[in-house]
A and B are shown apart, each in its own frame.
Chain A
Amino acid sequence: MRAILERAAGHLQELLDPGEAFTAYLEAEQSDFLRLNGNRVRQAGHVSQARLKLDLIRGSRHVEAALALSGEPDTDAAALRSLLAELRRILPLVPEDPYLAYAGEAARSHDIRSGRLPEADEVLATLRESAAGLDLVGHWAAGRLYRGFAGSAGQWHWFQAESFTFDWSLYQRADKAVKGRYAGSEWDTDTLAARIAATRNQLDIMARPARVLPPGAYRVYLAPAALAEILGVVAWQGFGLRALRTRQTPLLRLADRAASLNPCVELVEHCAGGTAPRFGPQGFTLPERVPLIEAGRFRECLADARSGCEYGVPVNAAAERPASLEMGAGHLAMADAAALVGDGLLVSDLWYGNLSDHARCAVTGMTRYACIRVEEGRMLAPVEPMRFDVSLYDLLGEGLLGLTRERELLTDTGTYEQRSTSTALLPGALVGDFPLTL
């Protein structure tokens, strides 16, 4: 894949007319996908793809294009020539762009993250043995991911990672299930077997008759994955510079200092701690850390190249939403979650979150998987799916009773168009009055 970008950049350099410049950003992968239902294979295959995002620039006029590259040199060279001709036809028709921004320095970087990926047969054998007799539904995705940047001023950035994600559900019956995850770059058969065994053990409690809860406020422990669902909804627009300046962020009251969160809330975009590349499509190198919320107060926005230029601030993100979100740890012990809840709920996962009220930064969504009724610190039974609707200012404000000292690294299993490189490192949260509405 590296050769594909090198060849493309070389061709573009040769084909440039005087006064022209380019940026080229490659997104590529060679991935296996294995889909399971009932611990049997529903669909399985391999996808090899490479897409070049090209920006042809003349002065402050420019036109962008995405082009699928085959890897076959002559075919790609012809496609690039054809595309370049089309971009040159359009270029005079577009006005000058006051917000055009791309890296000007001839920086270079290489970030190659080798891993140990298993043979597909080994994965299948582990599943067949570890999940024997279980109704396992899941998705395995593994292989190499590539991101690269080349610019006409000589910039070169390369990111390559070998990684896998396995995301599964063990069903006890109908909609009663527990969730399991295993992701990383160093495969270990025993680790997967142990994690499947752990989720198998959780099925016992899911077998009990489910409780139907009346709507109301409950004391809950939100596991890191549950917290990730809420923070993911808020962060979609919450920290973007453009969303802030155009008053569209759901965190507007926080940014305006009209509201604050619990002082223990710390959120940071920690690029150096995640699995995403340290450069963006315009070639800017991203900072290691961007503090988003400190001591419960809004700190910095994420600014991509375009809005950084529009609003005159340094570029600090590839896109204006976190790719490597981290939340500071607290002092509670995750193992004590049920005791800390006392009477209430243990919530392993939340689902289908969406903003329900921008001004209040309210998020609605559903419980899913292991949502367990707890009384006197003991886990009693699963709960029928319930809808929540909660303001972040309550959830992480006065309602927040504490965060766990342990944090979980959650790898985004998203595969829309391509495998994601995003992660979130989050603690669990103990919350006082979590509103369930339906």
Chain B
Amino acid sequence: MSTEGQERLQTAARRFRALAPPVDDWSLRLVDDSAETLSVRRGVVEPVRLSRDSGLMITVVEGRGVGYGATTDLSAAGLRMATERARAWARRTAALQLVDPAQLARVTAHGTYRSPLEKPWHSLTTGVKLERLLDLALRMKIHDAIVDWSAGLAYHDRETLLVSASGGEIWQRQHVLMPWLRAVANRGTETQIRSFGPDLGGQGGLERLDILELDQQPERIAGEALALLDAPECPSGTMDLLLMPGQMTLQIHESIGHPLELDRILGDERNYAGTSFVTADMFGTYQYGSELLNVTFDPAVPGELASYAYDDAGTRAERDWLIRDGILLRGLGGATSQARSGLPGVACARASSWNRPPIDRMANLNLEPGDSSLEELMGRIEQGVLMDTNRSWSIDDSRNKFQFGCEMGWRIEGGERRGLVRNPGYRGISSGFWRSLAGVGNTASLRVMGVGTCGKGEPNQMIAVGHASPPCLFRDVAVFGGGGS
């Protein structure tokens, strides 16, 4: 069954084929994106926000030149103008191209993809959804010290059509739902925040709210924010660290995902996002982490944020091991980066929307489960801290020296939780940190999460990526609390 968006994109694609320029190669990527955001704050419904975005990018190869033109104008005149601009860039850069056009990915596949979807967004009225958010938010106002409380739902319905001179045609539709709750507690100049959800976005419909047990979170979130006001600062020192999935997502993202991006290794990102401590000679031999470290690129996890069948360069996406038993095997690079570098990669050339060209991105980057329960991991800690929910992140441009902070921590002594601690943070160096991995949670403790705002590229692109992880135990980590160290 075709949708209104699909019809619009197909019509523009047919129009373009009739006008296709006499160039060596071309591809056309069209995006139709509908979004809706509902939120309530302090008992008041915030403005309901709808978004309707449609546009296309034409990429042409002409001789040794490559250029793109992107526009919101899907008419014949708009297509002609965008094509002319792409061709002008191709001609003027033909003698200066970094990449041989023969190395560029070609779109030859035919295929489709749809997100899983049980309860469509529009199966409930806006009014019903707002009532539910008002109730969730109200339940967070459990004390006068809760000074700000909010709940929200963001929904995206994105259709992408990719067609090419080679006859390839790929249509994909992703439904994404992102719920959130947030409670702010304050006393004097001490403010503590607990949140639920921004890192739990995923593909699907309203059924995700039940999967995430959203209704069971408000009092817990607010209660933890309150309790943090009275909690002692996280202890400082070198100790064991147990990271829950809510922090593992960021740890995986920053110190495995980004360093493995082939375009960083190839130098494309050196003026903005940075380079990588990983070098081409490391693939196949480098001990990235302890033998407990197993990381996959898996675009087929149902409901994970960045699942798809083909990347935006038209390459079929499949599950691959990036790190197995601690050994680095494969990078995060699409077909073009693979051809440029001669390194193994995955189908991860992605664009944030129609107005940006594809570059190497994470998609679903998952840390595979081990065999320990959470209790067993805790039981192996004599002196340490458990941390959950990222709130601060910083890492160097080679993705090596990092410092992260979390919303909440628990002191662990003698294998048991001893008390809540506030402002927990830790720092380390990627290349050594993963070798201190001493325990990995089992399948039952695995959580599928994600990062909705991964920034990279010039011009800049913000994109959503999925991360699944169980809790993980690390030995001898520099841990600290508020007040500096």
Q: B-contacting residues of A (Cβ < 8 Å)?
A: 31-33, 35-38, 40-51, 55, 62-72, 75, 79, 83, 86-87, 90, 93-95, 97-100, 120-121, 124, 128, 137-139, 141, 167-169, 171, 174-175, 177, 246-248, 252-253, 256, 258, 351-360, 362, 364-366, 368, 385-387, 389, 391, 414-417, 419, 435, 437-438
Contacts and interface: CB of A to CB of B under 8 A. Distances in A.
A120 B205 CA distance: 46
B47 A63 contact: yes
A177 B269 CA distance: 13
Contacts of B455: 416
B52 interface: yes
A323 to B, nearest CB: 17
A351 B269 CA distance: 14
30 contacts: A31-B459, A40-B98, A44-B67, A44-B89, A44-B92, A45-B85, A45-B86, A47-B71, A63-B50, A65-B51, A67-B53, A69-B72, A70-B78, A75-B74, A97-B45, A169-B270, A174-B275, A175-B398, A253-B189, A258-B189, A352-B397, A356-B403, A356-B405, A357-B405, A359-B423, A366-B396, A387-B403, A389-B484, A437-B427, A438-B478
B126 A93 contact: yes
Nearest to B35: A66
B423 A352 contact: no
A90 B485 CA distance: 52
Contact of B403 (A32, A98, A364): A364
B392 A355 contact: yes
Contacts of A48: 69-73, 81-82, 85
B322 to A, nearest CB: 23
A65 B50 contact: yes
B68 A49 contact: no
Contacts of A93: 125-127, 130
A50 B71 CA distance: 9
B460 interface: yes
A66 B50 contact: yes
Given A45-B68, A45-B357, A46-B85, A246 B92 contact: no
Nearest to A174: B275
B49 A64 contact: yes
Query: Counting chain A CB atoms within 10 Å of each CB, which of B69, B400, B401 scores highest?
Result: B401
Given A68-B52, A90-B48, A44 B68 contact: yes
Given A66-B53, A387-B396, A415-B458, A128 B96 contact: yes
Given A168-B271, A416-B455, A124 B51 contact: no
A45 B69 contact: yes
Contacts of A169: 270-271
Contact of A70 (B44, B74, B97): B74
Contact of B392 (A141, A256, A356): A356
* B: contact size bracket: 35 or more
Contact of A387 (B127, B405, B427): B427
Contacts of A248: 148, 184, 191, 193
B167 interface: no
Nearest to B193: A248
B289 to A, nearest CB: 20
Nearest to B356: A47
Given A44-B89, A438-B403, 10 more contacts: A40-B96, A45-B357, A49-B55, A83-B50, A97-B47, A137-B271, A175-B397, A256-B189, A352-B394, A368-B274
A41 B86 contact: no
Contact of B458 (A35, A49, A99, A385): A35
A382 to B, nearest CB: 14
Contacts of A437: 403, 427, 485
Contacts of A79: 52
Contact of A94 (B48, B92, B96, B484): B48
A87 B99 CA distance: 47
Contacts of B396: 351-352, 366, 368, 385, 387
B462 interface: yes
Interface of B: 44-45, 47-55, 57, 59, 66-75, 77-78, 81-82, 85-86, 88-89, 92-93, 96-99, 125-127, 130, 147-148, 184, 186, 189-191, 193, 266-268, 270-272, 274-275, 355, 357, 392-398, 400-401, 403, 405, 423, 425, 427, 429, 455, 458-462, 478, 482-485
B148 A246 contact: yes
Nearest to A391: B484
B49 A66 contact: yes
Contact of B482 (A47, A97, A141, A357): A357
A258 B393 CA distance: 27
B458 A139 contact: yes
Contacts of B48: 63-64, 90, 94
Contacts of B427: 387, 437-438
A49 B74 CA distance: 12
A45 B70 contact: yes
Contacts of A419: 459
A45 B27 CA distance: 14
B467 to A, nearest CB: 19
Contacts of A33: 458-459
Contacts of A97: 44-45, 47
Nearest to B145: A247
Contacts of A356: 392, 394, 403, 405, 425
Contacts of A43: 66, 68, 357
B450 to A, nearest CB: 19
B93 A41 contact: yes
Contacts of A55: 47
Nearest to B94: A41
B372 to A, nearest CB: 29
Nearest to B32: A68
A360 B484 contact: yes
Contacts of B127: 93-94
Contacts of B99: 42
